[in-house]
Amino acid sequence: MSELKPLIVDLHIPYCIQPERYLRLYGAVGTNAEKNAYMAALKREVLSNEGELDGYEVKAVRLSGGSATVMSPDLLGDLLSTVRKVMPVAHGAEVSFDAHPLTIGTPALTGIANGQPNRAELMMRSSLDSELQALGCAFTMQHVQNAMLFFHRFRMNNVSLTVNYGIPGQTLDTWHNTLRACLIMSTGHIRVCPLDVTEAPGMPSAQEREEMRAHAHEVLTAEGYHAYTDTDYALPGHESVGLQLRQSGCEYLGLGVDGRSRQGGYLFRNTNNLRLYMQHAGNPEKTIVQVLAEAEA
């Protein structure tokens, strides 16, 4: 019997509460009806893959996009349940979701629990409200702390925090405070990311950003975290399965608007036209806009 190939499934959610600065995420803002229509389209695309993944075993599933929890919690839970029903999801697979601090509470965690997630990725960015304002965030540090309390209350203890360095107005001292805030909240995984841009008014210099990167490494390794990617630090046992699989060259299936896939020696990309995707989701002839042999990429 041939060995099953591991596969990552990425379900891209392009919506947010409001677009933030210095992020390359899609950043769509829509009504509840529009967001629900997108979820219905994404479910159609999931269902279209039923019976198409023979020879694979799904080891990691992620609701991505940075703020997936702005969608209906019940629909998120239903989508994950559908993935489990129609795709060959391995027992004990990592099933994670990107979380926005303003959306985490009892309704969100109760609804999404129907899909049996076991990991959350919380976009924290900074512990200083003035830096969050500079980034255009709709939340404050109090919202981040409240979200973490709800995660612990729901026994969701596998939570990753994403923080940024190089924020306009940021100093080494305020960056240190952000790192300490992550440690105080007892998270097992911390993602330390530079901003996607390097030139903006008030942004730290290249040398200062390098000092911040080095300082994060020093602080986190001293607390028992280890770097297993250029940006990701984890306590033992809290590493992201999905990230580790990506590092190993694992194939992946990207669903949703602008979804990217790598399977069978080919690279596929879904349309980034939101309206076109929602109209034709489930029909790859209409939604896939690019196919390349890996050797040509």
Q: Under a CB-based contact definition with an 8 Å cutoff, are residues 217 and 176 in contact?
A: no
Averaged pLDDT, 59-72: 96
Bridge-partner residues for 192, per DSSP?
163
Which pLDDT value is given to residue 295?
76
What pLDDT, on the 0 to 100 scale, is given for residue 294? 87
**Across the chain, what does the average pLDDT equal?**
95
Average pLDDT over residues 175-183: 98
The confidence score (pLDDT) of residue 2 equals: 59
Q: Interhelix angle for 206-222 vs 172-184, to 10°?
A: 30
Identify the weakest region by mean pLDDT among 91-105, 164-178, 194-208, 260-274.
194-208
Beta carbons of 204 and 212 less than 8 angstroms apart: yes
Burial (0-12, 13-18, 19+ Cβ within 10 Å), 237? exposed
- For residue 26, what pLDDT is reported? 74
Q: Residue 109 has what pLDDT?
A: 96
Coil vs helix vs strand at 226: strand
Residue 297's pLDDT is what?
62
Residue range 126-147, pLDDT digits in tens = 999 999 999 999 999 999 999 9
Residue 105: which CATH number?
3.80.30.20
Give tens-digit pLDDT for 153-177.
Answer: 999 999 999 999 999 999 999 999 9
- Residue 63's alpha-carbon distances to 11, 127, 177, 178, 221, in angstroms, are 5, 24, 29, 26, 29
Core vs surface per residue 5-19: b (16+ CB within 10 A) or e: ebbbbbbbbbbbbee
Whether the per-residue pLDDT at 10 is higher than 80: the answer is: yes
Give tens-digit pLDDT for 117-127. Answer: 999 999 999 99
Number of folded domains in the chain?
A: 1
Query: In degrees rounded to 5, what are phi and psi of residue 246?
Result: -60, -45
Specify the pLDDT at position 7: 98
Domain that includes residue 137, residue range? 5-296
Structure tokens at 161: 């925090």
The model's pTM: 0.94
Full DSSP string of 45-61: HHHHTTT--TTEEEEEE
pLDDT classification of 1: cutoffs 50, 70, 90: very low
Q: What is the pairing mode between strands 226-227 and 232-234?
A: antiparallel
Q: What is the pLDDT of residues 23-37, one digit of tens each?
A: 777 788 989 999 999
Q: Which residues contact 202 (CB under 8 A, 6 or more apart)?
A: 134, 168, 169
Please, which pLDDT band fits residue 59 given cuts at 50, 70 and 90?
Answer: very high
